[in-house]
Structure formats: C-alpha cells, structure tokens
Amino acid sequence: MNQTEFKARVKTIIRKEEKWTMLTVGLTGEKNKTATCLVFFPFDFKDGLIYKWKGVFESSPKNNNKIFKVSEVYIENKLEEEDYVELFSSKLFPSITKTDANKILSHFKDPIKTIIDNENEFRSKIKLSADKTEIVIQKVKEHYKLQEVIEFFSINKLNQNVLAIYAKKYMQDSELITKKFKEDNFIDLVKVNYFPFDDAMNIYLAYNNNKVDNIALSWYGWFSIKKYLEESGHSYVNLEKALDLANTATGKNTQEILSAFIEYAKKNKVLIFNDKKIYTPESFRHEQTIAESINQINNQSIQKQNEKDVSQFFDFYNKSNKFSLNTEQRKAIKSFLDNPVSIINGGPGTGKSTLIDAIVKSADELLGIKDYAILCPTGRAASRIRDMFSLNAKTFHSYLVINNEEAEYEISNAGIDADLLIIDEAVMAYAALFQYLLNKSKGVKRIVILGDVNQLPSIGIGNVFSDLIESNKIVTTTLVENNRVKGASIVELANKISNSSVEINDLVDTVDLKFISDIDNQNFYKMLTAEYYKGLPSDLQKSIEHIQVISPFYGKEKDRGINAINKHLQEINTSKSEIKSRFKLNDKTMFTKNDYEIELYNGDISYVIDIDNIGSSKKQVVKIKSKDREIEIKGESLKELTLAYATSVHKVQGGEYNKIIFVLDPSNWNTRNRISKETIYTAITRAKSELIIFADKNDFLNACSKKTEKRNTTLSKLIK
C-alpha cells in the first residue's frame, strides 16, 4: 500500500493512551481540511508545531470514515512563510505577535536554521525587544535543536516520551543524548525513570545497528528472569532456567548467552550469581536486607518479665474485656514480652486480632512502650482493628507513603517514632514490601509478625512469613483453639483443608455452611441471587461489608466467573441514572490501585452515590461512599474503579465478611487444573459466620488435594 505524506498541525487530541494516540490534524496550505490520525507509538505532541506525517489512509470498521494510520511523524522545520507566521504567533511563543513574526521573516528566510546554527547572528540582526528575542531563541532551541534525534526516534518508532525526559535532563544537547542512548543506560531508563523495558531495549538496539551484543543479552536475561520471578514468586533461578529464559527472549544459543552472562552481566552486576543461584539485584537485596534487619533486632538481649507481673496483667485484661485469654494467647503474649521479635501464626477464629490489642496494652503496662505502629495489607483490615479496639492501624502503603507502585518504592528514608512494630496479615507482604516496612521502622525495639501460613502466599517475589517461621530462629506461637461460636463448622472445614484430611463426607450442610452443586447456569444464577439477598442489611454501608462473592477467575460473559456474576448482580440492582455509565447508583465497587491523593487503596470497597458529567463535556465523575467518606472518582482514576459484587481471592485476602459465597465454575478448565488448597482455604476463611459454596464436590476435593508450588527462596537460611 502506497504511503502518503503531508504537513499538518495538531488541532485536537481525541484520545491518548500509553502506547497510542488518536488526534485530529489540520493540513497546512489547505484551509479547513483535516484528517483523523492514529499513532501506534508514544509521541509527545505539542500544540502549534507543524509535523510531517507519513502513513496510509484506511477505512474505519465502525463508520467507514477514513483514518490515517501513521508510520512516521516528526517536527517539520522546512516551513513556508505563512507557516512561520502561524508558528511564531502561536501560544508556543508567548507574547510574539504576527507583526513580530513578519519582522523575523523580513530578516531571515529560515529563522529556525539560523537560530540553531548561530543564535548570536539572530540576536544581532533581529529588531525585537530583548525579552521577545530570547523567547524566540529559547523556544526554537527547545523544539527544533533535537530535530535529527526526533526524526531518528520517529523512523525507528521509539518512545518519544523518553526523549522528552532526556532533552530536559541534558539541556537539549543532542550529542550527549545520543551518546547516552548508545551506552548501557538501562538502569537510568528502567529503574530510575520507570520506562518500560521494551522501550529501553528498542532505543539501545536502534542506536547500535540492532546488534544483540553482550550488553543487550545481559539485560534481556535480567528482564526475562525478573518477569519469571514476579510471576512465580521465586527469589532466584538456577543457571539452566536462566539460560532457557534468555533463549526464549532472544533466540540466541546457550553459549552466546552464557558468555554474555559471564563477561558482562556478572561483572557489572546486572544479575547476581551466588551459590549456584541467579538473582536479580533487587530480589537478592530484598532478602539480604530483611535478614540483616531481623537479625540485628532479634539478637538483642532482653530481660525476661516477672511471672507475677505478667499474671496480674492477664487478670486485669480479662476483667476489662469480660473474657479470658486462652492458654495459647497467653503464651503468645509472654513470647512477645520476652523476645525482641516474635511470630504469631494462626487460622480463622484463633484470636489473632484480640492479641494485637492485648500486645499493645501489655507493652504499655509492662514494658513502658507507648508508641506503636500497627500495619495491615488492606484498608479493610486496618479499619477492622480500628473499629474493634480503637487502635491506630494503617495500611502498609499509607505507612510507607509510596509514590509509585509500578516500580521501586519511593519512600522517605526517615524512620518513625515507634518502639513497637506490629505487622498483621504478614503472609501478604512480599519481600520488597517487607524490606521497606523494616527500613522505615529503624529504631523499633520490638516486632510482632502475625499471619496464617496456610493462606495463599503474597503476590510478588518471596515468601517472607513462611521463611521466617521455617528459619526456626524466631520464637513462634501457633494458635489452634477456635474462639468463635458462629462459623464453627467453617473453621472445622478450613482446618481439614489445611491438614489435607478433608473428605467427601465433610462436604455437608450445617447451620453456617451450605454446599450447592449439580445445577445448570440458569438455576445457579437464580440461587445465587436468592443467597446474596437473604439477610442483606438495608443500610448500604452495612450491606457491602456484610457479604462478598468470591470466584478464582474472571472468566467469560456467560460462565460463573467474576465478570459474569458482577454483570448479573448489577442487573438485579434496580437503581437508575439518567447518565449513561458502566455503573449504577448503589453499585458495590472496589478501587484496584493505591491512590495517595484521594486516599483510596487497592481493595477498598465502596458504593456509588452519584453519577454525573463534568460541565458540558462527556467526561464522567462517579461519586462513591466508603465508610463515612464521600469521594469523587474521575479521569484516569475511573479506570481503577470496578464492580465488586464478586471479586477474586487475592482481592479479599486480609478481609473478613459475615457471609461469603464462594463459586467454582465446573465448566472452567482452570477449576480442575489450577486451583490449589491454599486458594480454597484463603477464600472460605474470609467467612466469619456463614459460607455458601457453589461447586462440584469432586472439583472441590480435587483442588483441596493440590498444594501451591513451594517458592524457591533463601531468606530462611539468612536468619541467624
């Protein structure tokens, strides 16, 4: 297909995404003629500049209108006289008028070239005020000095957002910028500026004649290993696996990759080679730093508490709370009092939350420790502790004040004024996050780590909670005794699942547990609706905290996955809005990212109280209510708001509901092949008093017989 090219300036950006932009342009020299362009690579367009566009016109499949698919675009610096007048009098050149533009053209046929080649000549001949002269010079240099580099980026379809950052960083110095792009610049691009790895590699290859040399091979190895570790949770790979991953990424043979690893990756610490294991620098550092922090605190000498004082505290606490701490709970508190670092491991109903309250009070009463930090993985978990005990609990992320969750955490190096650090639901803290929690907490005297080792491990590299227990170097109290009256049979089933002793005869209905199987889709949704609304509080806030549907998979439109269940339950919602939206009033929603400006965190639940458009535009704002806060969600943040009648196991981990409906779709291949007992255990232990399970009993038992693959980590061996 023949390429078309034309000159045009940007009129309207219709839509801009990370990897593509749709925009309307006005063609120069042809009054009122426009084109709709689609650019499938990142480009930082400036309003007012004239660009040269290359590509092909194609018909839109929606309305048969012509769309220009752009293959190359770059700033045009060979302009006609009228183009110069429009350019210099545009808002790109503040305070410059058309009269000023004509003065410039009366002296120079090509003022852009003159300024780039010899700005002093431009100064000496131009008849403008000094301020206006400097504005013209600075703006021309800003937009045109890098013309050759911009064209190179455009022809090779490189991410121009990278160039924009480097242009600012290196003062528009094209030679220095080119030099940087030819060098091993991956740490700065990927780890400092957070650009996607593919963008960094494409730039390096383009500037080095697309030669996959030792530098490129080493970084391909780093990226493929990093990706594998993030997906698997392992903290290292062996050499064979590392070579296989790099081979898949590059197509190079084993000997070439091995040579690159030895000659470049090892020497320059692109990868860390230690004891026949290969780590990324990040995965190695996280485990090493956790171990150093834990060892430093745990090896301090602690004076044992007087038994009489401890006994008196227990009596006081029991009387104040009108219940008695059981033997296991007393043991856990005693271990905390007598050790700098202690672990409390326990399943549902064993009283871990109560122990947090008792530990804070015993620290105050017996150790004189009044300053504490209680950290939880989710806002819901932190809120539960605040509501139950009036204790100041925070989420991991709000405590760290993380600015960028897509890459390495940007956190303050300043420590906290707390002597006691309590980390709840620690099984959810991956190695990087755990390291940052400890780094932020330098100076603490005691650490208590609580969790349930039988739950799903964290999403992310490492298996910190399990590793700390397996080290046998940290005193650990395991809670077994069930303190719940309601939901006793749920706890009993969970224990049998964790012990791998569950049988078909255990899958029977009780007062708080119902098992529903062998039904078609029509009856499934009919029964699901009935169970969802049975006993549902009329108060919306109470209703979203009362019940949660859980499914392990998002699935397709007509199955029993998260998306289909959400769509069905939303249709049951009779609330209406005059504005077209993917939400309805009163919809149960969840925020899926950490947003520190509006103080919403991944997993926070809410409900919709209003839907509106901003002014005369069609940009939507959805107002939600979460607890007692009303929050407007708009712009890019709307993408992070989703329906939450049903959600995944990981999204509800760390939270509890009175009633859980757990769904295993018998038609989904993953149900029989990918679900593990940790998935089942984590899902059903979110229920405090009532559990409804929709599943084929054989599928359920099959999943309970599968254990999640043990992660390859080294933290347990580093704890001394």
What are 57-110's pLDDT values in tens digits? Answer: 988 766 678 899 998 888 888 888 888 998 899 888 999 999 999 999 999 989
**Sequence letter at residue 369:** I
Residues 350 and 382 in one domain: yes
For the cut 90, the answer to whether the pLDDT of residue 345 exceeds it is: yes
In the prediction, which pLDDT does 458 show?
94
For the cut 90, the answer to whether the pLDDT of residue 503 exceeds it is: yes
In the prediction, which pLDDT does 441 show?
86
The 10 Å Cβ neighbour count of residue 664 is 27
**Sequence letter at residue 626:** S
For the cut 60, the answer to whether the pLDDT of residue 403 exceeds it is: no
Residues 497 and 542 in one domain: yes
Closest CA to 97 of 86, 106, 107: 86
The 10 Å Cβ neighbour count of residue 82 is 12
Answer with the one of 122, 156, 190 that is the final residue of a domain: 156
Task: Say if strands 66-75 and 50-59 run parallel, antiparallel, or are unpaired.
Answer: antiparallel
Q: With bands split at pLDDT 50, 70 and 90, how would you rate the model's confidence at 234?
A: very high
**Once rounded to an integer, what is the mean pLDDT over residues 553-570?**
91
Mean pLDDT taken over the chain? 91
Q: Are 399 and 421 in contact (CB under 8 A)?
A: no
Which residues have a Cβ under 8 Å from the Cβ of 264 and sit 6 or more positions away? 214, 215, 217, 218, 270
In the prediction, which pLDDT does 134 show?
93
Which letter, b or e, does each residue of 558-587 get, where b requires 16 or more Cβ atoms within 10 Å of its Cβ? ebbbbbbbbebbbeebeeeeeeebebbbeb
Residue 605 lies in a domain: no
Q: How far apart are CA 720 and CA 707, in angstroms?
A: 29
In the prediction, which pLDDT does 613 show?
82
For the cut 60, the answer to whether the pLDDT of residue 351 exceeds it is: yes
In the prediction, which pLDDT does 402 show?
53
For the residues of 590-640, what is the DSSP string, one character each? EE-S-BTTTTB-TT-EEEEEEEEESTTS--EEEEEEETTEEEEEEGGGGGG
Task: List the strands of the sheet with 475-479, edge to edge.
Answer: 393-395, 372-376, 420-423, 446-451, 341-346, 475-479
For residue 321, the Cα-to-chain-centroid distance in whole angstroms is 40
For the cut 70, the answer to whether the pLDDT of residue 616 exceeds it is: no
- Using DSSP's 3-state secondary structure scheme, residue 595 falls into strand
**Once rounded to an integer, what is the mean pLDDT over residues 388-403?**
82
Residues 585 and 512 in one domain: yes
Dig out the tokens for 201 from the structure.
């590699």
Residues 468 and 538 in one domain: no
For the cut 80, the answer to whether the pLDDT of residue 614 exceeds it is: no
Dig out the tokens for 496 from the structure.
């049998």
For the cut 80, the answer to whether the pLDDT of residue 240 exceeds it is: yes
**Once rounded to an integer, what is the mean pLDDT over residues 552-563?**
88
For the cut 80, the answer to whether the pLDDT of residue 372 exceeds it is: yes
Count of structural domains, the chain: 4
For the residues of 293-320, what is the DSSP string, one character each? HHHHHHTS--PPPPHHHHHHHHHHHHHH
Q: Are 270 and 219 in contact (CB under 8 A)?
A: yes
Residues 30 and 110 in one domain: yes
Q: With bands split at pLDDT 50, 70 and 90, how would you rate the model's confidence at 409?
A: very low
pLDDT per position as a tens digit, 456-467? 999 999 999 999
Top pLDDT among 548 and 146 is at 548
Residues 269 and 354 in one domain: no
Residues 276 and 187 in one domain: yes
In the prediction, which pLDDT does 415 show?
58
Q: Are 570 and 622 in contact (CB under 8 A)?
A: no
In the prediction, which pLDDT does 64 show?
72
Q: Are 93 and 135 in contact (CB under 8 A)?
A: yes
Q: Please report how many Cα atoms fall inside a 13 Å half-sphere around the Cα of residue 610, on the Cβ side.
A: 10
In the prediction, which pLDDT does 46 show?
82
Query: pLDDT exceeding 70 applies to what percent of the chain?
Result: 97
**Once rounded to an integer, what is the mean pLDDT over residues 325-329?**
96
Structural domain boundaries, residue 67? 4-156
For the cut 60, the answer to whether the pLDDT of residue 405 exceeds it is: no
pTM value > 0.85: no
Residues 121 and 62 in one domain: yes
For the cut 50, the answer to whether the pLDDT of residue 410 exceeds it is: no
Answer with the one of 225, 248, 282 that is the final residue of a domain: 282
pLDDT per position as a tens digit, 690-700? 999 999 999 99
Top pLDDT among 191 and 491 is at 491
pLDDT per position as a tens digit, 38-50? 998 778 788 888 9
- Using DSSP's 3-state secondary structure scheme, residue 619 falls into coil
End-to-end CA distance of the chain: 68
Residue 630 lies in a domain: no
Residue 543 lies in a domain: yes
In the prediction, which pLDDT does 154 show?
83
Q: Are 529 and 569 in contact (CB under 8 A)?
A: yes
Answer with the one of 255, 282, 309 that is the final residue of a domain: 282
Phi, psi (rounded to 5 degrees) for 448: -120, 130
SS3 assignment for 5-27: EEEEEEEEEEEECCCCEEEEEEE
In the prediction, which pLDDT does 314 show?
96
Segments of 637-702 assigned E as strands: 641-643, 646-647, 657-663, 687-694
Residue 400 lies in a domain: yes
Residue 582 lies in a domain: yes
Which residues have a Cβ under 8 Å from the Cβ of 34 and sit 6 or more positions away? 11, 24, 25, 26, 27
Q: Are 646 and 655 in contact (CB under 8 A)?
A: no
pLDDT per position as a tens digit, 672-693? 899 999 999 999 999 999 999 9
Residues 502 and 645 in one domain: yes
> 11-20, 236-245, 365-374: which has the minimum mean pLDDT?
11-20
Residues 324 and 416 in one domain: yes
Beta bridge mates, 35: 25
